[in-house]
Amino acid sequence: MHSHDNTALIGGDLRVHRLGYGTMRLTGPGFWGPPADHDEAVRVLRRAIDLGINLIDTADSYGPHIAEELIAEALWPYPADLVISTKGGYTRQGPDRWKPVGNPAYLRQCVEMSLRRLRVERIDLYHLHRIDPAIPLEDQLGELADLQTEGKIGHIGLSEVEVDDIERARECVPIAAVQNIFSLTRQRMRDTLDHCSAHGIAFVPFFPLGKGDLARPDGPVAQVAATYGASASQLALAWLLHLSPWVVPIPGTSRVAHLEDNRRAADLVLTGEQMADLTARWSDAL
């Protein structure tokens, strides 16, 4: 029986439940502007805390600013064990448009503004949302390291990176977490996951349900999930949780019912044989 511990230790001191919650969906179409249902967004955040979720992931670019403001509105003053992870260095030019800007002065502004919006004096986990290819990585991470020394950031993370990026980054600063697109039907970054596991870095899959495609009741995952007595999203998330104790998925949703369904994935136990079967079934679907 392949069981898993339901918590992970990020950066050596942030104890989190291994099923987090991602706030990207709490924004309008194209991740631009406010959510269609503001009150439901607030209910989702509060229900996440009720369900024992204590890692909430966000970014200044979601909305932009909308998701961070909603977190503060819904949850401040925060529970003592809540870990809020946010990101900066990714600018917005409109719905579904994004551009990395890693200028050190801009990154400092990102951190200062996130501190203000989230109403905190220190951000537990701060990700460089994208590496800006136009600016030396040492300059981007050096600024975050300065903010860390000043006590404004606890731990530093990366997003959408490959193994060589992680290694380059670790020459500058300790890296506590890496966020990459990864899911049952998108296993392309498996080497990154394995690298993180080997080095005690939390691997945080975003779009763990493939932007919701994996959760569809008429989709291919749903047919298989039925044989496990689970929903499609529960099976897809349980598969991630069983891959490595360093995997911390952050499924996002704008509805309480979906949040509750996702949360039950932590209770689904898969055997090694079942894991191998699921991995093989979708490993070609790159």
pLDDT in tens, 15-70: 999 999 999 999 999 999 999 999 999 999 999 999 999 999 999 999 999 999 99
Residues 110-126 have pLDDT tens digits of 999 999 999 999 999 99
State residue 34's pLDDT score: 98
At 60 the three-state DSSP class reads coil
- The residue among 139, 138, 115, 137 whose CA lies nearest residue 126 is 115
Cα–Cα dist 74/93, whole Å: 27
Instruction: Tell me phi and psi for residue 215, to 5 degrees.
Output: -85, -10
Instruction: Tell me phi and psi for residue 257, to 5 degrees.
Output: -60, -40
Q: Which of 21, 62, 90, 126 is catalytic?
A: 62
**The pLDDT of residue 3 is above 50:** no
Residues 184-219 have pLDDT tens digits of 989 988 999 999 999 999 999 988 888 777 888 888
- Catalytic annotation present for 90: no
Q: Which residue has the tokens 């079967």?
A: 277
Is residue 102 within 8 Å of 88, Cβ to Cβ? no
Cα–Cα dist 276/271, whole Å: 9
State residue 285's pLDDT score: 53
In whole numbers, what is the pLDDT of the chain averaged over residues? 94
Residue by residue, DSSP assigns 149-205 as HTTSEEEEEEES--HHHHHHHHTTS---EEEEE-BTTB-TTHHHHHHHHHTT-EEEE
Q: What are the chain's domains? A: 7-282 (3.20.20.100)
Instruction: Tell me phi and psi for residue 205, to 5 degrees.
Output: -70, 125
Task: Give this prediction's pTM.
Answer: 0.95
Split at pLDDT 50, 70, 90, the class of 286 is very low
Split at pLDDT 50, 70, 90, the class of 284 is low
State residue 2's pLDDT score: 40
**The pLDDT of residue 169 is above 90:** yes
